[in-house]
């Protein structure tokens, strides 16, 4: 029954989602040129708030739950599972006060209106997964920016999307490099549950009338512990949160 409404609602959703990306591409450019980082970031935040709102066109309920008191005076590494590309707009919008920059694959940094512009000029680490030297360099540069500007980062340690919601093991590489560069960073797990259902039938029709959530979990203090141990704790917390919601 949920598939049929998708044929009607998906084109409307895509019209608004794509329209916002096209409209905000020149807006981002103007904001960056005329107002610098602060104006550009504001435009990106507003864009992602609007993109998140388009989920309602599909009748989907997307809840962002954060009962944690997170610090503003130290960098944070948000560690999340990854279910679909629609994971990202709510993270950017709801974590905007922490200046969270994404660790993203380099292919996304070109050819996509608004998204590619932000990845190029907004402070993200755009890594080539086939080039370890380039990937490490990008992560170290992101770590430097986090250290100097008190920015945060969002990383998906599974390495790729789990298209049916089944979590893959977290890989430690990216988090380990960031922690070496920014040892005072706090690790904060985020459990994303249900966003894969947008694409349960593929890109068309999209899933409709689904419930999904983004839950910020208890922070993990990494001081004096290995990245492997810390990331395993984060993975276990995310898995438990997702299992408890079923």
Domains belonging to the chain, first-starting first, are 3-245 (3.40.1130)
Residue 129: pLDDT band (50, 70, 90) is confident
- Sort 13 into a burial class: Cβ within 10 Å, 0-12 / 13-18 / 19+: buried
pLDDT per residue as tens digits for the range 187-246: 999 999 999 999 989 899 999 999 999 999 999 999 888 999 999 999 999 999 987 665
Which pTM was predicted? 0.93
Q: State in Å, rounded, how far the first CA of the chain is from the last one.
A: 21
Q: What is the C-alpha to C-alpha distance for residues 53 and 244, in angstroms, rounded to an integer?
A: 26
Give the contacts of 222 (CB within 8 A, at least 6 positions apart).
179, 183, 185, 186, 187, 230
**Residue 245: predicted pLDDT:** 63
**205: preceding bond cis by omega (within 30 degrees):** yes
Q: Is the pLDDT of residue 1 over 70?
A: no
Give every strand in the sheet of 125-127, ordered side by side: 61-66, 211-216, 186-193, 76-80, 152-155, 100-105, 125-127
**Residue 38: predicted pLDDT:** 96
In this predicted structure, which of 10-14, 60-64, 76-80, 169-173 has the lowest mean pLDDT? 169-173
Residue 167: pLDDT band (50, 70, 90) is confident
Mean pLDDT of 56-82: 94
Q: What is the C-alpha to C-alpha distance for residues 142 and 178, in angstroms, rounded to an integer?
A: 8
Task: Give the three-state DSSP class for 231.
Answer: helix
Give the containing element (helix H, strand E) for 94. helix 88-94
Q: What is the C-alpha to C-alpha distance for residues 61 and 83, in angstroms, rounded to an integer?
A: 16
pLDDT per residue as tens digits for the range 5-34: 899 999 999 999 999 999 999 999 999 999
Task: Give the three-state DSSP class for 213.
Answer: strand
């Amino acid at each position: 029954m949920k598939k049929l409404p998708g044929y009607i609602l998906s084109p409307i959703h895509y019209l608004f989602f794509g329209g916002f990306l096209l409209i905000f591409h020149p807006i981002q450019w103007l904001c960056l040129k005329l107002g610098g980082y602060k104006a550009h970031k504001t435009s990106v935040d507003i864009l992602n708030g609007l993109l998140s709102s388009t989920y309602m066109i599909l009748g989907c309920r997307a809840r962002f739950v954060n009962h944690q008191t997170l610090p503003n005076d130290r960098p944070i590494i948000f560690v999340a599972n990854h279910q679909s590309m629609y994971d990202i707009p709510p993270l950017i919008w709801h974590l905007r006060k922490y200046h969270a920059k994404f660790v993203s694959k380099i292919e996304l940094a070109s050819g996509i209106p608004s998204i590619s512009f932000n990845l190029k000029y907004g402070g993200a680490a755009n890594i080539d997964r086939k080039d370890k030297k380039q990937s490490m360099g990008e992560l170290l540069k992101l770590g430097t920016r986090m250290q100097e500007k008190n920015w945060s980062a969002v990383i998906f340690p599974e390495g790729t999307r789990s298209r049916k919601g089944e979590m893959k093991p977290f890989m430690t590489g990216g988090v380990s490099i960031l922690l070496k560069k920014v040892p005072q960073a706090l690790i904060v797990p985020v459990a994303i549950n249900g966003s894969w259902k947008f694409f349960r039938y593929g890109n068309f029709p999209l899933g409709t009338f689904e419930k999904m959530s983004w839950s910020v979990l208890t922070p993990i203090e990494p001081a004096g512990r290995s990245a492997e141990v810390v990331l395993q704790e984060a993975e276990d917390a995310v898995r438990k949160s997702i299992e408890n919601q079923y």
